[in-house]
Amino acid sequence: DETGYANVYFFMGQRFMARKYKPDTTLLITGRIKGGRAAKMVSEATCIVIENDFEQALGILPNYHLAGNLTQKNLQAWIKTALAKAEQELPESLPASIIKKCNLPDRVSALKNIHFPQSWQALSEARKRFIFEELFLLQCGLLYYRSKNQEARQGLKHGVDGEKLREIIKALPFELTPAQKQAWLDISLDMQDVKPMHRILQGDVGSGKTVISALALAKAAENGYQSCIMAPTEILAVQHYETLSEYLAPFGVRVALLTGGMRAKERRNLLEELELGIIDVLVGTHALLQEDVRFAKLSLVVTDEQHRFGVEQRAKLANKSDYAPDVLIMTATPIPRTLALTVYGDLDVSLMKGRPPGRKPVQTLCYTEEKRNEVYAGVVRQVEAGRQAYIVCPLIENSEVLNARSAENVYDELMQSHFKNIPCALLHGRLKGAEKDAIMEGFSRGEIKVLVSTTVIEVGVNVPNATLMVVENAERFGLAQLHQLRGRVGRGSEQSYCVLLTPSDSPETLARLQVLRDSDDGFYLAEKDLEQRGAGQLFGMRQHGLPDLRIADILRDTEVIVQARNMAQSLIKNEAEWQEMLEFVKLQLDDRFQMIFNV
């Protein structure tokens, strides 16, 4: 700065320092600058004696995290020795053609410039090289995983849409939206190909994904094959069973439900009919993965909210067929395209936006907690009008650490005040499966008017008569999760409302919640959530069955993701180049991505 002066203090080895740093010696000192304008000091200082030309010595020096007795000087010296050895022995990890096409530095040069860059540009190019390499290897793995699946077993080819399927579409109580028609075209054409389908149907909440899956299941039945749909919860499995029975049973498609709580005799009869081919469509939860669940001719596997299962479970279900079945995954989690290439890189993506006709947008309101009594008076009015409501809380019980309202506490408060004469229930993840099912059945039938719950109702719960949701401590949820929760109302023809309650009156909190108030586009909200919270919290790789990335960032490096995907696709098409690289790719996949690529 303008003073050009700072103090450097050494608290150990004063005599050694005096001998080493004689008067008129030029030093390069790095460390933390502390203090104000009057007096500055350098803490955690590292000193380098500049013996020759100052300008030549003053390069870009690395500053490593240290532990124990390590020093910057020692660590830098050891890394320089390792880099000198690497120059002779370290193999290149990318094909020469891709290095040339993408204008990347070679591996050794990139390593040198990551540690001891010749310039800021050289550092930037080296960093890009290793970001590209990590994403490229991941894309190679995803594409290789897919190609091995397709080669391992022959798929089952379905015919063009027949009379039964056309009748089912004609009988639907609504016309398919343009987005639904396009998604169905994608899926139908995939099923008509001998190569097995690997597709994800990504739709916003309430976009009508279930009816598209119903058409796929009907197409399998029309061609004499069996299919199954696996849901993450028993509540959702029951809902799918009821919806599919309504759409398909009148046309002779036999739909059955397999749950963990079935009686032994009932389960035995169902499994016998399944193995004989009497059942066309089987709906269930993780129970479908059990060894004794055997199909006569399984041609289609549908999984709902796939990130709750992971790649291994998806593969286990697909292995229940002698053929490679078509795989369709449904998710209501909006993920921008570049992130989908990473998280769902082994799948084709069909995107559905918009909502089916007849559904009104949910009106979202945001209040501070001073309005709580007025809000709950509004819940009472909705119930008196014959409607139902959800109250969502971030915690099950009160916490000494977190200052937030719990479901148990809110339930007790409301039962002694506003909801004294209203049938209510408390739902959370610690209840036994049978208890949760009984509560949800009561709510679905309209016997329970208000459901006080945690986020267990986030996925798939469909009660068209529920027109109001109140979210306590809304500031503790991400925008994407609030949007998922909000999707539980507005599923009928009546106007629905979502009220966000927060104890915070900070402009930042209110501005963030107002983003949700002003938009019902899940993809836009996912982008906003990415901006505010980062990709790591939103789309953790491990929840999708993939490892965390070491250097790349799926939010920051979107352009590199697309480039890596394109390069991986072109490499796999070039048989000679791919075979040359295959062994290295396998080693890298085993080292970095062994949790999914057992190749």
For 66-131, give the secondary structure using H, E and C: CCCCCCHHHHHHHHHHHHHHHHHHCCCCCCHHHHHHCCCCCHHHHHHHHHCCCCHHHHHHHHHHHH
d(CA 218, CA 188): 11
Per-residue confidence band for 308, with pLDDT thresholds at 50, 70 and 90: low
Range 81-95 average pLDDT: 88
- Amino acid 435: pLDDT: 87
- Amino acid 341: pLDDT: 66
- Amino acid 336: pLDDT: 64
Q: What's 163-193+208-331's CATH class?
A: alpha beta
According to DSSP, the residues that pair with 466 across neighbouring strands are 388
Range 408-422 average pLDDT: 91
The two counts, helices (H) then strands (E), for the chain are: 22, 16
Query: Residue 8 class from Cβ within 10 Å (0-12 exposed, 13-18 middle, 19+ buried)?
Result: middle
Range 154-166 average pLDDT: 90
Q: Does position 384 have pLDDT exceeding 90, yes or no?
A: yes
Q: Does position 597 have pLDDT exceeding 70, yes or no?
A: no
Q: Does position 541 have pLDDT exceeding 80, yes or no?
A: no
Q: What is the pTM of this model?
A: 0.69
Six-digit token string for 103: 């204008």
CB distance 198 to 324 below 8 Å: no
Q: Does position 400 have pLDDT exceeding 80, yes or no?
A: no
- Amino acid 249: pLDDT: 96
What is the residue type of 398? N
Q: Does position 199 have pLDDT exceeding 60, yes or no?
A: yes
According to DSSP, the residues that pair with 367 across neighbouring strands are 501
Range 323-344 average pLDDT: 75
Tell me which residue of 182, 192, 183, 186 sits closest to 162, measured CA to CA.
192
CB distance 384 to 449 below 8 Å: no
Range 523-543 average pLDDT: 61
Q: Does position 595 have pLDDT exceeding 50, yes or no?
A: no
CB distance 241 to 283 below 8 Å: yes
Q: Does position 184 have pLDDT exceeding 70, yes or no?
A: yes
Provide CATH 3.40.50.300 ranges for the chain.
163-193+208-331, 363-519
The interaxial angle of helices 234-248 and 209-222, nearest 10 deg, is 60
Percent residues over pLDDT 90 in the chain: 38
Domain 363-519 part of CATH 3.40.640.10: no
Per-residue confidence band for 53, with pLDDT thresholds at 50, 70 and 90: very low
- Amino acid 351: pLDDT: 84
